């Protein structure tokens, strides 16, 4: 590849990743990988300036303003920092600074580089009046109402200060991040990749109530502007901010010599595992304000500060064993059992091994010393094996040829990496099938969760999902279960009874048919109208449905071809579970012929709730954008579907516009 082609490729890649990171809060590469691309482009532009472009991503901050928020023009530009990755580069930076100022009165402050979303907060006469995101550094987004929900951000400060603008980093603590993702998983919603994305997505919600529920925090690290007061040093300004009630760059270290600065960087790096929040580097800043002004700034970065970036945190630990779990559809998943190791703020004792091919390709053996990486991701993973430390008795792992839960043979379908247990009576599958059946997007049975299902199975009160509807006859046995008194038993039985009237689409989704999610279940219910009609549909009839293909059609046909599944449905019908989709509506079908596509994270509905509204009004919910799409309902972090819709000229709806359309369709 020619030099100029490589540079153009790098520019396009970096702009793509800038959009994913700053605008969609959905990066697909690590910061370390992004920094490597940026560094390569910077080096090439320095070596071949004739091929450099004025709009290069090396010359501007990555974000752009989301049109859903009001724009804020920053009086003081919110610039980025240059990145360095080695001790040699740290020393080069310090040498450049010393040569530029040529004075003995020079000191530095080293701070933790919090991995969050950069914001500006403004106060007038002691009152918080505005908060905004960095955006492109010159124009950001007004997120004032959302910022007011951050508990450790002062809403009032000393009223004798006429004006103060501070810059800080909004972040989500690890503990909150785990809780938010657990709740998202239970609700069937998309999980956040890491705490930084969770913080950014939460702060840029259109509904401040959702932001408040996310329990964000902020560290303030700079005074952008102030009236009525001045400072000699950065450290003095940080102490002043602390006195005002801000959490101001906790753990900052004042230094003079190169050795002290490097020791501070190492000290911060060593503390990463003990912090309750994520950091991805250390920032080195000139302490003296007057000398900062002398050093000046470029269009993108200040010359008086730089960020040392730590590589993604990896730890070596021993692989003690491999466990195999069985999912709802019978899929077998190997999980590494590790000697516990502290990594990226949490103790890691398990890591995914994906499948047999992954284990073979990495040559992972029980007893090996393995390198584990988390880097803020949800599930820890094994990166590699330290073969040099492999013990002589390390044992290669083979996936079982029988299900670890029921002992029946397992099978691997052609073209699939996964092994599956096909035993419909497998206890592991029964447990997960019941969890799915009672979940929010399925039959939504309040109170039926993991611990209760385990209790019911252990007490031999249920054997399949239909048995949930027989618990009313077993109330006495139910009441003797742990933490299940008469009141709890009555509430549970009422919730189970209430679920009988759920729409047919909910029941279809609850059955756990492979390749059939909430949207496909609604399509099936609307198209066939009753469970009887659906069970007798042919593969060709199924394949002809919108957004269906032969794979999904075959999955549905195979499910209903099994006598055991037909017997289960017969039992559910006998116990009074609804088997018919309501087709008559006093509203008619005002959205008949309208095709909607949902993208991004919605703040006012779950995706399933929005889809249910669309279908109830006669519309169609599709998973992909095409020229036949009528509307795209776009939430936060909308990605490629939104871009495609814009290119095709499809109408884009905000949630407010969608709600107005719903009201009009209902004649409200």
The stretch 403-407 carries a mean pLDDT of 90
pLDDT at 350 over 60: yes
Q: List, in order, residues 6 or more apart from 136 with CB less than 8 Å away.
A: 60, 61, 62, 63, 64, 65
Helical ranges in 19-86 per DSSP H: 31-47
Q: State how far the Cα of 322 lies from the Cα of 362, in Å rounded to an integer.
A: 14
Which residue is associated with the tokens 């709730």?
609
Instruction: Please determine, for residue 435, whether its predicted confidence score (pLDDT) is greater than 70.
Output: yes
Average pLDDT rounded to a whole number, residues 580-608: 75
pLDDT, residue 556, reads 94
Mean pLDDT across the stretch 320-340? 89
Task: Say what the pTM is.
Answer: 0.53
DSSP of 552-576: HHHHHHHHHHSHHHHHHHHHHHHTT
- Compute the average pLDDT of residues 199-212: 82
Q: What percent of the chain has pLDDT over 70?
A: 91
Q: What is the CA radius of gyration of the chain?
A: 29
Q: Which tokens in the block code for residue 64? A: 């752009």
Flag the least confident range among 84-93, 270-279, 485-494: 270-279
Q: Which residues contact 643 (CB under 8 A, 6 or more apart)?
A: none
User: Of the listed 113, 309, 331, 374, which one is catalytic?
Assistant: 113
Q: How confident is the model at residue 454 (pLDDT cuts 50, 70, 90)?
A: confident
| Per-residue confidence (pLDDT) for residue 133, from 0 to 100 | 92
What pLDDT score was predicted for residue 583? 57
Locate tokens 């519309």: which residue?
Answer: 619
Ordered domains of the chain (ranges, CATH) = 3-59 (1.10.287.610), 71-309 (3.30.470.30), 314-406 (2.40.50.140), 427-499 (1.10.150.20), 504-574 (1.10.150.20), 595-665 (3.40.50.10190)
Residue 480 is encoded by which pair of tokens? 């003797």
Residue 278's pLDDT band (boundaries 50, 70, 90)? confident
Stretch 470-490: mean pLDDT: 88
In Å, how far are 45, 285, 431, 453, 599 from 463, measured between CA atoms?
Answer: 67, 65, 9, 10, 38
Contact 424, 562 (CB under 8 A): yes
Query: Residue with structure tokens 């998309």?
Result: 190
pLDDT in tens, 305-315: 999 998 777 88
**Position with higher pLDDT, 598 vs 586:** 598
Strands 279-286 and 108-114: what pairing? antiparallel
Give the bridge partners for 597, in sequence order. 622, 632
Written as six digits, the tokens of 607 are: 């995706």
Q: What angle do CA 328, 609, 665 make, to 5 degrees?
A: 150
Give the model's pLDDT for residue 196. 84
For the chain, give the mean pLDDT: 86
Tokens of 12: 């396009």
Q: Name 28's Cβ contacts closer than 8 Å, sequence gap at least 6.
A: 17, 20
* Distance, CA of 205 to CA of 217 (rounded, Å): 15
| Cβ-contact 97, 107 below 8 angstroms | no
HSE at residue 32, side-chain half, CA atoms within 13 A, is 12
Under DSSP, the state recorded for 311 is: P
Q: Which pLDDT value is given to residue 230?
A: 94
d(CA 129, CA 112): 28
- In terms of pLDDT, which residue wins out, 95 or 30? 95
Lowest-confidence range among 65-79, 144-158, 432-446, 536-550? Answer: 65-79
- Which of 27-36, 204-213, 483-492 bottoms out in mean pLDDT, i.e. has the lowest? 27-36
The two structure tokens encoding residue 430: 């029964």
d(CA 268, CA 251): 8
| pLDDT, tens only, 105-115 | 899 999 999 98
Using an 8 Å Cβ cutoff, are 421 and 332 in contact? yes
Integer Cα distance of 156 and 123 in angstroms: 8
User: For tokens 């200060």, what's the residue?
Assistant: 161
Q: Identify the residue with better confidence: 613 or 247.
A: 247
* Residue 618 in tokens: 């006669």
Of the pLDDT bands very low, low, confident and very high (cuts 50, 70, 90), residue 651 is very high
Label residue 376 by pLDDT band (50, 70, 90). Answer: very low
Widest Cα–Cα separation across the chain: 89
**CB-CB contact of 104 with 34 (8 Å):** no
**pLDDT at site 584:** 46
What per-residue string of b and e applies to 417-437 under the rule 16 or more CB within 10 Å gives b?
ebbbbebbebebbbbbbbbbb
- pLDDT category, 285, cuts 50, 70, 90? very high
Given a cut of 90, whether residue 126 has pLDDT beyond it is yes
d(CA 386, CA 139): 48
Contact of 564 with 492, CB cutoff 8 Å: no
Q: What is the DSSP letter of 23?
A: I
The β-bridge relationship of strands 305-309 and 83-84 is parallel
Output 640 or 125, whichever has higher pLDDT. 125
| Active-site annotation holds for 113 | yes
Identify the residue whose tokens are 């398990």.
350
Highest mean pLDDT among 11-20, 241-250, 324-333, 350-359: 241-250
Residue 7 clears pLDDT 90, i.e. is over it: no
């Amino acid at each position: 590849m020619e030099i100029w082609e490589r540079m153009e490729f790098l520019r396009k890649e970096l702009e793509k990743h800038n959009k994913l990171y700053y605008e969609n809060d959905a990066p697909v590469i690590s910061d370390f990988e992004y920094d490597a691309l940026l560094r390569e482009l910077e080096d090439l532009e320095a070596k071949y300036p004739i091929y450099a472009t004025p709009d290069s991503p090396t010359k501007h901050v990555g974000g752009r303003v989301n049109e859903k928020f009001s724009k804020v023009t920053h009086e003081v530009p919110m610039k980025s920092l240059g990145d360095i990755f080695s001790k040699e580069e740290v020393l080069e930076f310090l040498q450049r600074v010393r040569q530029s100022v040529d004075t003995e009165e020079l000191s530095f402050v080293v701070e933790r580089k919090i991995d969050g979303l950069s914001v500006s907060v403004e106060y007038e006469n002691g009152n918080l009046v505005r908060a905004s995101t960095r955006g492109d550094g010159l124009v950001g987004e007004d997120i004032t109402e959302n910022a007011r929900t951050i508990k450790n951000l002062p809403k009032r400060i000393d009223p004798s200060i006429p004006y103060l603008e501070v810059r800080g980093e909004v972040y989500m603590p690890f503990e909150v991040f785990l809780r938010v993702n657990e709740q998202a998983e239970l609700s069937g919603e998309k999980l956040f990749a890491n705490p930084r994305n969770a913080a950014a997505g939460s702060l840029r919600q259109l509904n401040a109530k959702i932001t408040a529920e996310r329990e964000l925090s902020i560290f303030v690290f700079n005074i952008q502007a102030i009236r009525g007061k001045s400072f000699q040093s950065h450290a003095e300004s940080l102490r002043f901010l602390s006195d005002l009630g801000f959490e101001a760059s906790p753990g900052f270290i004042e230094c003079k010599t190169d050795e002290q600065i490097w020791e501070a960087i190492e000290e911060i790096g060593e503390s990463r595992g003990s912090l309750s929040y994520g950091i991805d580097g250390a920032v080195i800043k000139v302490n003296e304000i007057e000398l900062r002004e002398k050093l000046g700034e470029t269009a993108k970065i200040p010359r008086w500060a730089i960020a040392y970036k730590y590589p993604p945190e990896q730890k070596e630990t021993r692989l003690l064993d491999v466990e195999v779990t069985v999912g709802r559809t019978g899929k077998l998943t190997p999980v590494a059992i590790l000697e516990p190791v502290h990594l990226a703020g949490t103790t890691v004792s398990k890591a995914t091994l994906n499948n047999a091919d992954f284990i073979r390709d990495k040559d992972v053996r029980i007893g090996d010393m393995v390198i584990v990486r988390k880097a803020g991701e949800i599930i820890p993973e094994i990166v590699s094996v330290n073969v040099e430390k492999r013990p002589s008795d390390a044992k290669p792992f083979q996936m079982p040829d029988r299900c670890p839960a029921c002992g029946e043979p397992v099978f691997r379908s052609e073209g699939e990496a996964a092994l599956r247990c096909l035993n419909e009576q497998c206890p592991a599958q029964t447990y997960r099938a019941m969890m799915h059946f009672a979940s929010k997007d399925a039959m939504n049975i309040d109170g039926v969760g993991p611990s209760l299902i385990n209790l019911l199975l252990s007490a031999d009160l249920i054997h399949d999902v239909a048995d949930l509807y027989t618990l009313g006859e077993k109330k006495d046995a139910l009441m003797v279960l742990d933490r299940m008194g008469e009141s709890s038993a009555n509430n549970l039985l009422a919730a189970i009874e209430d679920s009988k009237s759920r729409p047919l689409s909910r029941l279809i989704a609850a059955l756990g048919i492979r390749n059939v999610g909430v949207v496909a279940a609604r399509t099936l219910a609307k198209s066939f109208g009753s469970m009887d009609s659906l069970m007798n549909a042919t593969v060709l009839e199924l394949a002809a449905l919108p957004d269906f293909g032969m794979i999904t059609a075959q999955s549905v046909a195979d499910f209903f071809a099994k006598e055991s599944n037909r017997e289960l449905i017969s039992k559910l019908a006998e116990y009074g579970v609804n088997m018919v989709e309501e087709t008559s509506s006093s509203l008619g079908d005002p959205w008949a012929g309208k095709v909607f596509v949902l993208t991004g994270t919605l703040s006012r509905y779950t995706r399933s709730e929005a889809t249910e509204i669309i279908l109830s009004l006669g519309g169609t919910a599709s998973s992909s954008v095409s020229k036949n799409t009528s509307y795209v309902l776009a939430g936060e972090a909308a990605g490629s579907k939104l871009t495609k819709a814009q290119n095709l000229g499809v109408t884009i709806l905000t949630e407010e516009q969608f709600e107005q359309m719903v009201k009009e369709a209902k004649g409200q």
